[in-house]
Amino acid sequence: MTSQSYVSLRDIDMRYPGHHAVKGINLDIEAGEFVALMGPSGCGKSTTLRMIAGLETPTGGKITIGGRDMAEVSAAERDTPMVWQSLALFPFLSVEDNVAFPLRMKGVPPKSARLRANDWLERLNLNGMGKRAVSQLSGGQRQRVAIARALVTQPSIILLDEPLSALDAHLRIHLQTELARLHRELKITFIYVTHSQSEAFALADRIVVMSDGIIEQAGPPREVYRAPQTPFVAEFMGMNTLLKGSVRAVTADHALIDTREGQMRVPLGAGQTPPEIGATAGFVIGADRITMRPVEAPADQTSFPQDPLVTGDVVGMDFVGSTQTIFIASDAGTEFRVQRLEHASEVFPVQLGSRVALTWSPDHAWLLPRLS
């Protein structure tokens, strides 16, 4: 990122008594970018968001927004509205008054505040609901009220902390579409904390994966998914099989790695430093890159003898809509994950305990740059 980044975090540290929540992270966010912070509970992503908002004071480091050092700028002065998981709407105010509240705190005359509030209610498909009590709205409508309240002051940045997690699947998808539309139209900076990979992948220009207070990897969604930089990222993405072994040989474009599943050829990515012979190396194969077939009929092995072949037993199955994820324990003890469209089960049905053969193109393996 450039030195002109709109939001800049430099060596940001956050310590609580007995807990080091954020450990010297560095992050630059461009104006108009949609960035999603991801990671398991307790990784530091919400703490990072709260420090940007001014609700927490870092114990070390520097935050700048729009080139201005935030060290002496209060949360109220930052103009970094936040949409919370709990929404934090005022139950004693009408929908219109909830949306207008930030304007009134800024001294906007009541009539102008009402007009702007109702304009935002209309933009979020809540026209005609301004006089209602918050309790009269559905969960999705209340979430849109919270978003309208955050945007009514026309900020240059909006912070969102798991805003859709309390909604059902249908409403989440609907509001993802709303947020994507708003980002395109408003061209303001969105910083979005979520546990959901589907939300992050659908919305973000860039994903920042955090673990134990550090940033493991930051990059476009496809890059983070297909080219993880650490074992943590590979496993956090959830749809990868991780293999490790000793490097037997290295050429200009690939490494030969001895694993417990046999010797595997793994390509070197563009610009990757080749591993040393004898070193331990790891690589991943995406679940959608693995082909599963009956163990007695691995016919393609005669056509593509260079492809790996692994056999094992089905130990788990997960169905999500039109997609299946099959978990296979290999004969050598590795858990493989295979993702396929549900209708593939009509061609090759499996059940718990089924014996299967797995194969993939060596070109679809990704060498991890580091193992820690």
Domains contained in the chain, CATH given: 7-226 (3.40.50.300), 231-367 (2.40.50.100)
Q: What is the mean pLDDT of the chain?
A: 90
State mean pLDDT over 1-17: 85
Q: Which of 7, 25, 153, 11 has the alpha carbon at shortest distance from 77?
A: 153
> Which residues have a Cβ under 8 Å from the Cβ of 261 and sit 6 or more positions away?
243, 308, 310, 330, 332, 334
State pLDDT tens for residues 111-145.
999 999 999 999 888 888 999 999 998 888 888 89
pLDDT of residue 169: 76
Name the residue among 6, 46, 75, 358 with its Cα closest to residue 192: 46
Q: What is the pLDDT of residue 299?
A: 53
Average pLDDT over residues 41-59: 95
Q: Which of 79, 83, 72, 103 is nearest to 156 (CA)?
A: 79
pLDDT in tens, 183-217: 999 999 999 999 888 899 999 999 999 999 999 99
Residue 305 has pLDDT above 70, yes or no: no
Min mean pLDDT across 153-167, 253-267, 350-364 is at: 153-167
This prediction has a pTM of 0.88
